[in-house]
Structure 1
Amino acid sequence: MDTPNLEIQLKTLPTQPGVYQYYDKAGKLIYVGKAKNLKKRVSSYFTKNHEYGKTRVLVKKIVDIKHIVVETETDALLLENNLIKKYQPKYNVMLKDDKSYPWICVKNERFPRVFPTRRIFKDGSEYFGPYTSMKTVRTLLDLIKGLYSLRTCNYNLSEEKVTAGKYKVCLEYHLGNCKGPCEGLETEEEYHNNIKTIKEIIKGNFKDSLSQFRNQMKGLAENMQFEEAQKIKEKIEVLENYQAKSTIVNPKISNVDVFSITSDEGYGYVNFLQLSYGSIIRSHTLEIKKKLDETDLELLELAITEIRQRFNSNSKEIYVPFKVDLGEAIKVSVPKLGDKKHIVDLSFRNAKYYRMERFKQMKIVDPDRHANRIMAQMKADLRLNEEPRHIECFDNSNIQGTNPVAACVVFKNGKPSKKDYRHFNIKTVVGPDDFASMEEVVYRRYKRLLDEDQPLPQLIIIDGGKGQLSSSLKSLDALELRGKIAIIGIAKRLEELFYPNDPIPLYLDKKSETLKIIQQLRNEAHRFGIEHHRNRRSKNALNTELETIPGIGEKTVVELLKHFKSAKRVAHAKLDELEDVVGVSRAKKVYSFYHEK
């Protein structure tokens, strides 16, 4: 499928946070922006009257839109920053690397210092972040400083120099902010235990620290030190609301390619994220048409080779969701935990959203192809001999046995065909017997279709478990239709599908489109059945008293209700008002019935 026009692209954008990229007719990136809601933000460019001339010119030049979906607004802000620095689009403000986002550095030294920085050096130190606000960094460091005594000096505290007595404790030691490792007053082990806990706090794992703060706050409040307790409370709130880390940048993940795949019956969608010095600098999704029912493994191996050639990637390591064979030259990693796993998950989300957008675009541009794909998917998922172009779903509705009814809804090519929906009032069953009711309804439906020489469905879905399915089969047997129409039952747990003569249910993937169509069928059948049941009960409740009046028939009841709108108004009507509607004789009967009571 060719790149859809802008109008279709705008209709199918996701509502998630992310970064959007505008391209001109030459395929050049001209603008990068961030959004809390991609669809809302990007659409605003094409619906608003822009005050600034440059924005109007930008909008005129946009030919194609690409985007990268992320988890939070903060991630979108950071990713936007990375992409602007990398590509320097014409309509973006210039960003220079010396104004980068702040990080927290845990220095690689014997007694590590913890401090903020905007620059990253490959010296073995650990960097956490980046943060969109220096205020967040300062608050975190103040929290850490309040909890743990760390050195702030930049002395080289090697074992030889400390043992030789080269340094003396400073004012920080006397103020209680440092335990004096420079004079050997604190052991390396004790200091590193504190550093380990501090790293957990920075990552967001601060359960123990919160407990410590709460105890501290409680103690201060008990000692009437309310101002100090309030300060601790504010710190607790900051900690609780603190977003620990971004999935967008991690200096440990350097010069790596990330790939993931999602697929359906006809196509595979492979997403590629390119990371350089820990930052995402590119996202691209490749759509591959299947020819021979290729597996995800085959498609992914093929796509990785193609994409790496297309973008001239020389990365020596790739991250993928499962093992692939790409030869000895490339290191293949399948992350299970942490930031590396997070980045693979992010890639998968982008592949998934790309696939969803293509489906939406396909529905608009090529509805037949969309229907064909859905039908092929359902045939494979439900193990059918032919595509279920015509599906009928049955549902029983009765409340405590009153007014038992059933509904039959019809889907053609995966869409509701409302003109073919049918209601059934149960005639041969007394009381709330779902099995017998289902048997009656299925028999009546297909007896009629056969008598009228109407086309039969390829699939019947029975809303109920094994019992309702068995009852329906009796009707198909009586009509000699067993084996000519596929039939399945769906249990209350929607993902359980029952087949004739098979005690073990089939379980469908909860995210599969086949299950979504079945769910839509059942919901529609339930809605249609309940609506009819409610109408019958209302009508019965309304008409019951009027129909009990001696000498008054159904025709008279209809005339009265048409004029007075309700039975209550009929009861309170004057004799002459009733005479105007139904004549003198019948009016007297109605009037006497209510007024003699």
Structure 2
Amino acid sequence: MTHPQDKQNTDVKTNDIRQHIEQKLAILPNEPGCYIMKDKNGHIIYVGKAKILKNRVRSYFRGAHDTKTTKLVSEICDFEFIVTNSNKEALILEINLIQKYKPQYNIRLKEGTMYPYLKITKEKDPQLIITNTVKNDGGTYFGPFPNVYAATQTQQVLYKAYPLRHCGLNEKRACFYYHLGQCIGPCDHEVPQEVYDRQIDKIKRFFKGDVAEIKTALKEKMETAAEKMEFEQAADYRDQIRYIETTVEQQNVMNKDYDNMDVFAYVMDKSWLSIQVFMLRQGSILKRKAIIEPSYGNPEEEVTSLIARFYKEQAQIQPKAILVPSDVDHELLHDFLDLPVSTPLRGKKHSILELCEKNAKIALDEKFRLDAMSHKKTVQAVQELADALNIPQAEHIESFDHSNIQGTNAVSGMVVYTHGKEDRKNYRKYKIKTVEGANEFASTQEVIRRRYSRLLKEEKPLPDLILMDGGIVQVRAARDVIENELGLAIPVAGMVKNDHHKTAALLDGYSEEIIYLDPRSQAFRLLQRVQEEVHRYAISYHRNVRSKNTFASILEEIDGVGPKTRSKLLKHFKSLQNIKIASSEEIQALGINQKTAIAVLEALNKTSRD
């Protein structure tokens, strides 16, 4: 059976997660890239790609979904993203991340990929084929490609432009494709290796973007067909040109030159340094690390130092080489790490360095926007609350709530908010000592008297505002002690709940008027957070006290168990169940004699049988 307090704690955590995700959703970029969903333990549970990250990631948290997606969303506690230059780059990165981390919800892409590659086989008479798997078989792979049909059509174009073997090896005479000019002809004659090498070289250049020759020929055919009013044929040539453009679209996240190297890039703004690290393995980005920290000196020197620490402090497996911005100290890093350090000025490596810098800038922009939201959530909320109560400020708030069951084990909890944020180190717990039964007025007086007479005695700062989790009774009791007994002028207000036990309004402690805040205002949301937190804290403390008292009362009935023995057992074992399963020797190890240890075990086990 779920305890009500457990449910409340879960609800508070869920609200915190929801607020965190909503804040991050608000600042997603209008860029292509990959998003990485994580659970409460920080484990990656899903990886996806998007043409526009903002639209795709938001869609998970808006509207209705099928059963599988609903379950996925229910487990998401955080997400991060990596921006790419194109949808194709996002696709390739997605595939590699899925194969690296094997997220539980990426069932279809875990072991292989549903996206095709074009492959030149490694054999005497090589072929150009389409495959869904990449093997270490000596073949030359191109892709993966986001559009299956486009890859197929591009294969057909290459058959015509740079034919390799298109037929089976069991042909006895020239095959049909040879007569169409789509097979190089090993079925008809011996083809020298150098002829194959020339064709393969042309195909490789084609996939590097050298497509002008083929596109020009197709364009001429398209125009000729259009002049002859052969519009279907012209449309077919037009589509072939588009397929080629789709297939050979430039991408920077995967390249055979990315063999075990790390890429560092940074940006600096408003005295904050944002550093991105791309770890390139097996030709693609397999891991990313983001570091944001304040900068106190020369950013180039700080980045150089951070790169050195990155490998020494975190026991990172060192790559074969690292790429860094030009202003980083190459020589120092090379001497320190004994690794090649360079700044590429052109080509794919330069592009990946630029992409790394782009992600560093986006990460820093994200931090600034989250900080702005946090400022609005805290500083603005505090000012709105002070204005609503017509008091100078509410930077330091102390809030109280009581908890008891029919007047027994009565306790109070006090939480502190400084500048609109929880100040947990200054929370306090109080056992009610002078009040019998459930007396809200007297309990409030005792706690307020104890708290603020002590602050006066110790000459510590007083709060700007006292918030009571309750109505007029608690507010009047607090004011009575504050004003009449202690002679202080601390503003007091009550947090009023509605019939559903939810935050509804403020009770001004002086005018005793109800103040209804706009539920969309930052002040109202701050009031909600304070009320939920103080209630949670008081209930949690009461539950703990009640459990300990029950524990102690049962032990009191056992002969030979006095206060010191009870204290030892309570401190070490925490619960009766833990004592029941303990051995006599374990109890004796606490300094308790054998006779008493046996008596404790016999009494507890007799109680459980009864």
Give the 3-state SS of the residue equivalent to 1:198 in structure 2. helix
Structure 2 residue 42 is the aligned partner of structure 1 residue 27:
yes
Supply the distance in 1 between the matched residues of 2:238 and 2:108 (Cα, whole angstroms).
40
CA contact (8 A) 2:150 2:244 kept: no
The unaligned stretches of length 5 or more in structure 1 are 156-166, 371-597
Q: 2-side partners of 1:138 and 1:47: how far apart?
A: 36
Alignment length, in residue pairs? 357
Matches within 5 A, 1:27-66: 27-48=42-63, 50-52=64-66, 55-56=69-70, 58-66=72-80
Supply the RMSD in Å over aligned alpha carbons. Answer: 3.8
* SS in structure 1 of the partner of residue 255 of structure 2: coil
What is the aligned partner in structure 2 of residue 273 from structure 1?
278
Within 1, Cα distance between the matches of 2:122 and 2:325? Answer: 32
Aligned amino acid, residue 83 of structure 2: V
Taking structure 1 as reference, are residues 184 and 298 closer, same or farther at Cα in structure 2, changes over 3 Å only?
farther
2:320 aligned with 1:316: yes
Q: Determine the structure 2 residue equivalent to 1:355.
A: 364
State the Cα deviation string for residues 29-71 of structure 1 (Å, max 9, x = none).
Answer: 23333333323333343443x4556655544543332111112
After superposition, the C-alpha distances for 1:240-262 in whole angstroms (9 at most, x for unaligned) are: 45552433333442332222111
Partner of 2:153: 139
Report the equivalent of 2:299.
Answer: 295
Among 351, 356, 359, the residue aligned to 1:342: 351
CA offsets 1:460-507 (integer angstroms, 9 cap, x no match)? xxxxxxxxxxxxxxxxxxxxxxxxxxxxxxxxxxxxxxxxxxxxxxxx
- Taking structure 1 as reference, are residues 197 and 92 closer, same or farther at Cα in structure 2, changes over 3 Å only? closer
State which of 71, 96, 100 in structure 2 corresponds to 1:82.
96
**Aligned mates of 1:214, 1:109 — CA distance in 2:** 34
What CA deviation, in whole Å up to 9, does each residue of 1:541-574 have, x standing for no partner?
xxxxxxxxxxxxxxxxxxxxxxxxxxxxxxxxxx
Closer/same/farther in 2, CA of residues 228 and 10 from structure 1, 3 Å limit: closer
- Secondary structure, aligned partner of 2:259: coil
Task: Kindly report which structure 2 residues correspond to 1:462-477, keeping only aligned pairs within 5 A, or say none.
Answer: none
Q: Structure 1 153/46 Cα, relative in aligned 2: closer, same or farther at 3 Å?
A: closer
Please point out which of 79, 90, 93 is paired with 2:107.
Answer: 93
Unaligned residue ranges in structure 2 (runs of 5+): 1-16, 380-610
Aligned to 1:244: 249
**Deviations 1:421-467 (CA, angstroms, capped at 9, x unpaired):** xxxxxxxxxxxxxxxxxxxxxxxxxxxxxxxxxxxxxxxxxxxxxxx
Q: Is residue 211 of structure 1 aligned with residue 225 of structure 2?
A: no
Structure 2 letter corresponding to 1:299: V
Q: Aligned-pair distance for 1:11? A: 2.2
Letter in structure 1 aligned against 2:249: A
* Aligned residue runs from structure 1 range 470-489, under 5 A: none
Compared CA separation, residues 99 and 69, structure 1 to 2 (3 A): closer
- Is 2:276–2:357's contact at 8 Å kept on the other side of the alignment? yes
Contact 1:75 1:246 in 2 (8 A): yes
1:210 to 1:46, Cα distance in 2 relative to 1, 3 A: closer
One-letter amino acid of the structure 2 residue matched with residue 335 of structure 1? P
Q: 1:105 to 1:329 in 2, by over 3 A?
A: farther
Aligned match of 1:263 in 263, 268, 274? 268
Change in Cα spacing, 1:138 to 1:14, as seen in structure 2 (3 Å) is same
Asked if structure 2 preserves the Cα contact closer than 8 Å seen for 1:20 and 1:65, the reply is yes
Q: Secondary structure at the match of 1:260?
A: strand
Alignment of 1:124-135 (within 5 A): 125-135=139-149
Shift of the 357–223 alpha-carbon distance from structure 1 to 2, 3 Å rule, reads closer
**How far is the alpha carbon of 1:190 from its aligned partner?**
5.6
The separation in 2 between residues aligned to 1:321 and 1:27, in whole angstroms, is: 31
CA contact under 8 A between 2:166 and 2:182: conserved in structure 1? Answer: no
Q: CA 1:148 to 1:84, structure 2 compared with 1: closer, same or farther past 3 Å?
A: closer
Asked whether the 8 Å contact 1:172–1:178 carries over to 2, the reply is yes
Match of 2:373 in 1: 364
For residues 107 and 242 of structure 1, do their structure 2 counterparts lie closer, same or farther at Cα, with a shift above 3 Å needed? closer
Partner residue of 1:9 out of 7, 24, 36: 24
> Share of identical aligned residues, percent?
32
User: In the alignment, is the contact (CA less than 8 A) between 2:32 and 2:85 conserved in 1?
Assistant: yes
* CA deviation map 1:273-298 (0-9, x unaligned): 2223223222221013223x123254
3-state SS in 1 of match to 2:289: strand
Matches within 5 A, 1:67-466: 67-93=81-107, 95-99=109-113, 101-107=115-121, 113-122=127-136, 125-152=139-166, 172-180=177-185, 192-219=197-224, 228-240=233-245, 242=247, 244-291=249-296, 293-303=297-307, 305-306=309-310, 309-310=313-314, 312-322=316-326, 324=330, 325-327=333-335, 329-366=338-375
CA contact (8 A) 1:130 1:249 kept: no
CA offsets per residue over residues 193-217 of structure 1, 9 Å max, x none?
4433333332333122222223334
> Any residues of structure 2 matched to 1:531-550 within 5 Å, and which?
none
